[in-house]
A and B are shown apart, each in its own frame.
Chain A
Amino acid sequence: MVEWTEQERSIINNIFSNLDYDDIGPKALARCLIVYPWTQRYFASFGNLYNADAIKTNPNIAAHGTKVLHGLDRAVKNLDNIKATYAELSVLHSEKLHVDPDNFKLLADCLTIVIAAKLGNAFNPEVQATFQKFLAVVVSALGRQYH
């Protein structure tokens, strides 16, 4: 059972309530596909991923990035029950999408960097620690139902 302090809850809610999901989601996913190109294996049907510019302007990737961020939103709204909240999503990623769970960490790292770029100094060490704790819990929950 993950324990969250009041400060951690406030930090997480603050970050997400000030986030433009349509901007940050696409940026994080595109960055993941560019920085860790093997992750493109899951997006073979998404169209042109031939180079960084193609990835950055690909509308299917952008839409999916937004979708991923809305998925994170579910965790934000259920901080005390992330494992149960993500049980179905975990099964989906394992049974249907066949995503290697190591990739979740790669996307999480890219999201951290995109948020750091957006928030600048406001993304101080304590905020970073809290955000990464949140993402670690999410990543763990998403990998939970793999067998």
Chain B
Amino acid sequence: MLYRASRAALICPVPPSRMGVTCGGRLNLSRGNLQSPSDSGRETEREADMSLTDKDKAAVKALWAKISKSADAIGAEALGRLVTVYPQTKTYFAHWPDLSASSPSVKNHGKKIMGGVTLAVAKIDDLTNGLLDLSELHAFKLRVDPANFKLLSHCLLVVIAAMFPNDFTPEAHVSMDKFLCNLALGLSERYR
């Protein structure tokens, strides 16, 4: 259970006050993990995951409806930004001849990634199960360090803001950010 909370902290922003509760309260290791794993685990997960409310899901679907036509372009742009703004991410693509933001390999791969995000929107009511296959791919084959999911999420948000400034209101932003955090958690489910 501590593992789940710390994994979440790695991937999503953890509010300082909540970190105090999760670590000092429910997961007090000096008492030994006396709570029943299922109950405290779920509650801890909820606190650390900041799970999606119905309002969040509605906001994500509403934003998605407006931007999904441009999914390919968004994916391509986001990946291009990832490798430019966070050059260490290029290590995952050393087998491509051209790693610039405008390269065809980067663009195509960005499209593929957005396919995954599209799937996640469809599976928004159960991301953990919906993303199991993709999680296995990332865990056992690709072995992408989960810390990078946060970086790509940020780039996706920047691209959406740049392309759809009027639709990417603060309210849409918070729900989308939460969704991407939960997506990243679903993706890292099978890692260990």
Contacts and interface: CB of A to CB of B under 8 A. Distances in A.
The answer to whether A and B assemble together is yes
Given A38-B16, A38-B17, A56-B170, A128 B81 contact: yes
Given A119-B162, A128-B81, A128-B84, 11 more contacts: A35-B173, A37-B174, A41-B17, A100-B16, A102-B13, A113-B158, A116-B162, A118-B165, A123-B158, A123-B162, A132-B85
Interface in B53-106: 80-81, 84-85, 101
Contacts of B101: 124-125
Interface residues of A, number: 32
Contact of A34 (B17, B84, B171): B171
Nearest to A105: B13
B84 A120 contact: no
A18 interface: no
A34 B170 contact: yes
B173 A38 contact: no
Contacts of A102: 13, 16
Nearest to B175: A35
9 contacts: A31-B173, A34-B174, A52-B171, A102-B16, A113-B168, A118-B165, A120-B163, A125-B80, A129-B81
A85 interface: no
Closest 3 CB pairs of A and B: A38-B15, A117-B165, A125-B84
A121 interface: yes
B161 interface: yes
Contacts of B162: 116-117, 119-121, 123
A145 interface: no
A36 interface: yes
A34 B178 CA distance: 12
B157 interface: yes
A109 interface: yes
A112 interface: yes
A121 B171 CA distance: 23
A51 to B, nearest CB: 9
A88 interface: no
- Among B13, B81, B158, B170, which residue has the most Cβ atoms of chain A within 10 A? B170
Interface string B147-169: 00000001001110111010010
Nearest to B177: A35
B90 to A, nearest CB: 13
Contacts of A128: 81, 84-85, 158
B132 to A, nearest CB: 29
A80 interface: no
